[in-house]
Structure 1
Amino acid sequence: MGSTKWEIVHIPGKPPISPTQQPKVNVFASVIDPKVTNTLIRKLNQIAPLEDLRHVKRVRKSCSNGQTQLSLILCLAGEDGDELGSMPEHVLELVNCYQLNPFVTQVCRHAATTKEEWEEQCKLWPTSFHPPTYNIDGITGFNEEDSKVVFNHMNHALRLAISSNHQLVNAAVIVDPCANQIIASACDEIFSWDTCLNGNSNRELLLHQDEASGSHDAANRFLSSNLQLNGSHNDCHPSYKGVSCLNPWQWSQQHLSSSSSSFWHPLRHAAMVAIEYSAARDRNLFPDVGRTAETSAQVNPVENSTAESPHKKHKTDPIKVKNAEVAPTDTFLCKSDRPYLCTGYDIYLAWEPCAMCAMALVHQRIRRIFYAFPNPNAGALGGVHRLQGEKSLNHHYAVFRVILPDEALGRLELDASATETIKKDD
C-alpha cells in the first residue's frame, strides 16, 4: 500500500532488525542467593568477562511465588551446548563452591538500536539501551513547521532534477537551516548537451530560489513516475540513466567522438558540484586581503546574494552554529569569520547519494542529508551501504528519506514522458 501523504523517515546507521528475529547466543546462568551477588559478579568479571556482550546485564531480577529471585549469567555456553564440561574451569569452581545449579538460556547477540528492539530483548534477558546522544533535529521526529520547510526544499531539488537539459538527473540543494537559506544548488554535470555549440551549461537552467517555496500541488507536477520510486527496484529505467549516483560507472562505457556536442566528467555529481558552488560562495563573501568581490570566484547565479547571510565559526557544534550572527548586507565579513566548509548545513538530494558523494559530505561536515528516492544500485546511505553508521569516521550526519505521496509519484510519468519527448525532438 502506497503513501497518501508526505513523510520523513530517519535512516539509522544500522539496518533495522525485526525484534523477534534478532540473533541470539547461548549462555550459562544460575539462580543465586542475593547475599552473594556482588561477590559473584566481581569474580566472574575477572575470570569470565562478557566482552562481546557488554549490552547484556549480568543479573536478571524476577518474581517467583511472590518472592524476588535473582539469576546471574556465569559465562558463554560452549560448542557443546548445555554440557557443563564446556564451562571454564574457574567458573566450575565457583559453581561448586556456591552450590549453583547452572542452566542454559539465550540473550541477544547485538545491542538494541531502537526502543522496540530493546523491549523485545528484555523478554529474554535484560539489556541496556542507549539512544543516540548526539542532538540532531529530526531524529526523534519533525514538527509541522519543520516538516513544511523540509518539503519545500525537497520540492526545489525535485524541480531541478527534472528540469535540467530535458533529462532526468540528480539534483542537490545545500541549505543553512539556521536562516532557512539556500546556500547552493546544482544538478549532475557528468553529461551536458550542446555545451560546445552554445556555451550553455546545466547551471544556467537552475530555478530561482523563490520558486522553491511553492505549494505541494505545484511541486507534484515535477515528481517521479512509473518506477516504484518509493519502493525498491533492481533495473534502472531508461529515463534515469542520466542520474549519476544511480550509474556511477556509466562514464566508462561511453565512447564519445571528438565531434560530439557533449562532454563527460565522472566526478561532477550533483552533490560535488553543489559543494563547489558553496565553496565559491564562501570565497566571494570572504575574499582574501587585497581581493575584491569582483575578482573573487564566480558564484552560482541563483545564490549570488549576501542579504542576511549567516556565518558560522570554525566549529562543529550545532548549537554554536545556531547562535551565529547575521552578516551585514553591505559589507564582507572578516576572514576569521569564514564558514568552515559546510558545517551545520543540510543537503537535499533527489536520489540517494553514492559512496563518493556520501564521503564528500562527511568531509564537508554536513549536518543532515535528505533524499527522496532510494538508490538500489550504489546507494551509500541505506540502499546498499550505510556510511552514516561507520564508527571509524570522524564525522557523522543524520540521514532522512522524504517519502512522496502516491498522488505526487503518479504525476512524474507524464513529466518523464514529456522530458523524453523533448529530448528526442532536440
Structure 2
Amino acid sequence: MKNRLLFFCKAPQPGYAKSRLAPFLGESTAAELSGALTEYVLEQLLEHFCATNEEIDFVVCYTGEEQVSYWHNWLLPIFTHYFGKATVDDGDHFSFGRSFHLFFEEQSNGPLGDRLWRSFRNSFKVGAKKVVVVGTDIPDLDGFLVKTAFNSLETCDIVVGPSLDGGYYLLGMRTFCEEVFKDIPWSTCKVLNTTRNQAAVGGHKMDILPALEDIDEVENLFILERLAATTDKGKRWIKFLDKWFLEDRHTFPSCSFTLEEIGNKKEIDETLLAALNPRWVGEHNDNRNHSKKETDSRLANRCPASVDTISVYVSVVKPQLVGKLLRILGRLLPLGKELSHVKRVKRENGRSHLDQDGKRHRSEPHITVLLGSKEEFESLDSSVLHSLNEFELEPFIMSIPSRAATTREEYVSLCITWPVLYQPPPPPRQLPSNGEMLSILRYMSICFDVAWRHEKNSSFLGICAMMVRPSNEEIIAISCDTSCRAHMSCPREKEKCENCQPFRHAVMNCIESASRKVGSYKRRHSLHYKALSDCSSSFCDEAESFVTADSDLHSLESETDTEGNEKPLFPEDAYMCTGMDVYTTREPCLMCCMALVHARVKRVIFVSPNKCFGGLGGGPKGIQLHKLGALNHHFDVLHLEGFEKIWKPSVSTDNIKISPE
C-alpha cells in the first residue's frame, strides 16, 4: 500500500476562482492568480518528490466546468518536466516509473465537507495506507511539510496544518475518521477548532503542523511581494502586483492650487472649503457651532429609542445584609462588560405612614440586588450557591436595559425598570480653526510635493510622511516609502531592491529619523522652519529649502536656564515624538499605526485611505487602532478628504531635497 496525496484544485475561471479578490484585481486577474498559485504549489511539491524518489500516488482532484482534457493539457506538462515521459495506464492514470503515479479525479458535488469526505473514503477503499489532502493557495507549502505530515501519521490518527484564518491547508489520516467532517462551519474562522473538538470526541490523536497563511483576502496579497523579491521564480507575480498597485493607488488629477498659491492665502476661502471635506476619524462629527445649552436642548428633545433588554437574576435583600452580599458578589460574580452600564443595587425608599397615635413612620427601604447575568448565575456550582444561603435570597429573572441612557428623557424612562448610567453622546468635535486649517494645508502641500518628486512613475503619487512639532512650527523629519512595495519596478531588477526593506514604510522611516535626531539632541539635524507663521509671498522660497544637506541645516537658538547653563532641547524622560503631528499622503497601515502609538504622537493627518491595510478606519475591516480602549495612548486623526482636488505639483518641486539619515 502507498501513501496517497490529494491535490484539491479549482479551475481558474473568471468569477469562479478567488472571487473575494475580484473586487480588487478584477475577475480575470483573480482567476489568473488562482492558476499561478496552483502551478507554483504544484512545482514546490514535485521538486521534493523528484529529489527524494518517494513512492506516492498523486491525485489531482479538480472541480469546475472544464473537462478532464483541459487538466491534462494544463498540468501534465509540469509533471513531465520533473519526471520525464509518462506511461498511460488508462485515460486518467499516468505512471512515472515505479514510484510515482498520477491520477486525475473530478471532485463530487456538494459543499467542501462532503467532497473531502468522499475523497478520503474512496482513497481508503482503494487501499491507500495514509491519505493527505492539500490546497493550492498556500505559497509556503512544500514537499517537506507533506513528508512531515506522512511521518506524523505513524504515531497519530490525524494530522492538521492550520492556516492563519482559522481553517487548515492540510489534513491527513491513517484511518478513515468521518467525525472530522461532521458539523463543521466551513469557510469560517471556526473550522480548525471545531475539527479538533470533533477529533477529540471520536478519540483520535491529532498532530499539528506549523501554521501558514493562504491567499484568500486582499490582506494576504503582501505574500506576493515577498515571493517576487526573494524567490527565483518571482517574475510570475509581477503582473499581479502591478495590477494590485494600479487598482489600489490613488491617481491624483490636475488640480487647482499649488503650494505657492496656498502659501499666499491669508485665510481659507469658499473655493477651498467647497473642495475640501476634513473630518475627525472615530469622532462625533458636526461642523456646525453649537453652544452647550443648545446641545443639551437637542438631546433632551429627542424621543427615547426602543432599547433591547438582557436577562439577569435579581433578588430582594434585607438592608443590613446588602454590604456583605455585595463584597461576595464582587468576588464571585463581578459585572462584566455587558453589564457595565447598570448599577448593582436598586433602592426604593420606604413609604411613610401614620400609626394609631398619629405619629409618622417610614418603612424599611426596598432593596433589590443584581446577582448576575442569566448564563453566569445558572452556571454557578451548587457549593457556591450554598454559601449564599445566609442571605435568604429568592432569585428571579428580570429583563433590564442592555445599554446606558443617551438622553435625559431616556434616562428617566429606563431607570423605572432598573438604574442605568447616563452616557450622553460627546459634544460635536469642532474642526481646526481657519488659521490652523490653513497651516495644515500648507504642511500637507509640502508632504505631497516631496511624495510627487520621490515617485519614479509620474502618473502616481508616492507615499510620504512628515513629522512636525506644532508648538514652534518646526519640521522634525520627512521620509518616503522605501519598501519594495513603494517601487513597482523593484522586483523586475533585483539590484534596485538592495536598499529596500519590506517594513520601510514612510511612517516607520519618519519615526526612526525623528527619534534618532531627537534622542541624540543633534540640533544640526533639526529642520527650523518658521515660514508657516508668515503668510508673505516668500513662503515658497523658504519651503524649497526646508529640507537640506547637513552643511545647510539651520541650528536652533540655544536655550539657557536662569544660571546661564544650556538646557537640553528635549526632556530626557519624554518619549521621542511626544506631542508631534504626523502628516502623510496615505493612511498608515496597522503596523505603522502601532508604531505611532508607541511614539506617543499627538495627531495624524492623512489624505488617501488605505483600502487594503489601513489602521485608522479605511481598511477592509474598519479597524480604528487609535480608538482601541486597551491601548495606553490615543491620538487624534484628521482625514483631509478631498485634498487631492485642491492640490497640484509645485513648480519648485525639483528643488526640494529629502533629509539625509
| Alignment partners' CA distance in 2, 1:282 and 1:40 | 55
Match of 1:179 in 2: 472
Mark the runs of 5 or more structure 1 residues left unpaired by the alignment: 13-18, 132-137, 192-241, 245-249, 288-292, 310-324, 416-426
> In structure 1, which of residues 334, 337, 362 is the aligned counterpart of residue 597 of structure 2?
362
The aligned counterpart of 1:256 is 492
- Cα deviation, 1:362-392, whole Å, max 9, x if unaligned, reads 3333233232333231122333444435566
Whether 1:29 and 2:300 are equivalent positions in the alignment is no
Q: What amino acid does structure 2 have at the position aligned with 1:397?
A: H
Q: Which amino acid aligns with 1:186?
A: S
Contact persistence 2:311–2:397 (CA under 8 A):
no
Q: SS state of the match for residue 514, structure 2?
A: helix
The match for 2:659 is: none
- State whether residues 519 and 576 of structure 2, in contact with CA within 8 Å, keep that contact through their aligned partners in structure 1: no
Question: 2:326 — aligned with what?
Answer: 41
Match of 2:200 in 1: none
Q: Which amino acid aligns with 1:269?
A: H
The aligned counterpart of 1:157 is 447
- TM normalised by structure 2 equals 0.36
Cα root mean square deviation, aligned:
5.4
Structure 1 residues 323-355: Cα deviation after superposition (integer angstroms, max 9, x where no partner): xx689xxx9865886775222212122222113
Structure 2 residue 295 is the aligned partner of structure 1 residue 57: no
1:356 Cα deviation from its structure 2 partner: 2.7
SS of 2:491's equivalent in the other structure is coil
2:479–2:509 contact (8 Å) kept in structure 1 = yes
Is the partner of 1:388 in helix, strand or coil? helix
Query: After the TM superposition, which residues 121-270 of structure 1 pair with which residues of structure 2 at under 5 Å, given as runs?
Result: 123=414, 125-127=418-420, 141-142=430-431, 144=433, 145-165=435-455, 166=458, 167-190=460-483, 244=486, 255-257=491-493, 264-270=500-506
Whole-angstrom distance in 2 between the partners of 1:71 and 1:36:
11
2:641 is matched with: 404
Larger Rg: 2
1:89 aligns with 2:396: no
Report the Cα offset of residue 59 of structure 1. 1.8
CA–CA separation in structure 1 for the residues paired with 2:614 and 2:582: 16
| Partner SS state of residue 11, structure 1 | coil
Identify which range, 396-405 or 122-131, moves more after superposition: 122-131
> Alpha carbons of 1:45 and 1:332: their partners in 2 closer, same or farther (altered >3 Å)?
closer
Helix, strand or coil at the partner of 1:278:
helix
Q: Deviation at 1:278? A: 2.3
CA contact (8 A) 2:411 2:420 kept: no
SS in 2 for 1:357: helix
Deviation at 1:28, TM superposition (A): 0.9
Partner of 2:504, secondary structure, is coil
Q: Is 2:372 the counterpart of 1:75?
A: yes
Q: What secondary structure does 2:375 align onto?
A: coil
Deviation digits for residues 143-197 of structure 1 (CA, Å, limit 9, x no counterpart) = 5254544444344434444453323122212111221222122222336xxxxxx
Give a deviation string over 1:389-423, Cα, whole Å, max 9, x none: 55665x52313132435xx55567x98xxxxxxxx
Letter of the 1:304 partner, please give it: L
- Which SS does the other structure have where 2:370 is aligned? strand
Aligned counterpart for 2:609 among listed residues 345, 367, 374: 374
Whether the 8 Å contact between 1:59 and 1:70 is mirrored in structure 2 is yes
Amino acid at match of 2:397: F
In the superposition, relative to structure 1, how do residues 151 and 59 fare at CA in structure 2: closer, same or farther (>3 Å)? farther
1:241-289 CA distance string (max 9 Å, x none)? x6x5xxxxx88x95323576997442332112223432454478537xx
**What letter is aligned with 2:375?**
G
What percent of counterpart residues are identical? 25
2:521, 2:570 within 8 Å by CA — same for their partners in 1? Answer: no
Equivalent residue number for residue 548 of structure 2: 301
Offset from partner CA, 1:211-243 (integer Å, 9 cap, x none):
xxxxxxxxxxxxxxxxxxxxxxxxxxxxxxx6x
Q: Per-residue deviation at 1:35? A: 6.8
Letter in 2 for 1:286: K
Whether the 8 Å contact between 2:469 and 2:476 is mirrored in structure 1 is: yes
Could you tell me how far apart the structure 2 residues matched to 1:92 and 1:161 are?
A: 68
Asked whether 1:344 is paired with 2:579, we answer: yes
Q: When the two structures are aligned, how many residues end up with a matched partner?
A: 306
Secondary structure, counterpart of 1:255 in structure 2: helix
Aligned mates of 2:308, 2:383 — CA distance in 1 = 22
Structure 2 unaligned blocks of 5 or more: 1-272, 284-303, 353-362, 526-545, 650-661
DSSP 3-state at the match of 1:277: helix
With over 3 angstroms needed to count, the CA separation of the structure-2 counterparts of 1:269 and 1:20, relative to structure 1, is: farther
Q: Is contact 1:172–1:349 with CA below 8 Å preserved after alignment?
A: yes
Instruction: Note if contact 1:277-1:300 (Cα within 8 Å) is conserved in structure 2.
Output: no
